[in-house]
Amino acid sequence: MQPTPRTTPSRSAKRAHYDEETVYSILDESLFCTASCVIDGQPFSIPTAFARYANYLYLHGSVGSHFIRAIETGITVCISVMFTDALVVAKSAFHHSVNYRSVVLFSTAEKVVEYEKKVEALRWITEKIVPESWDYLRPITESEVKKTTVLAFKIEEASAKLRTGMPIDEEEDLELPIWSGLIPLRTVREKPISDELSKNLSLPKHLIHL
Model-level pTM greater than 0.85? yes
SS (H, E, C) 98-160: EEEEEEEEEECEEECCCHHHHHHHHHHHHHHHCCCCCCCCCCCCHHHHHCEEEEEEECCEEEE
pLDDT string in tens for the chain (210-residue length): 888 999 988 878 888 999 999 999 999 999 999 999 999 999 999 999 999 999 999 999 999 999 999 999 999 999 999 999 999 999 999 999 999 999 999 999 999 999 999 999 999 999 999 999 999 999 999 999 999 999 999 999 999 999 999 999 999 999 999 999 999 999 999 999 999 999 999 999 999 876
CA-to-CA dists, residue 79 to 70, 76, 103, 163, 180, angstroms: 15, 10, 8, 20, 34
Question: What CATH superfamily is the domain 13-208?
Answer: Electron Transport, Fmn-binding Protein; Chain A (2.30.110.10)
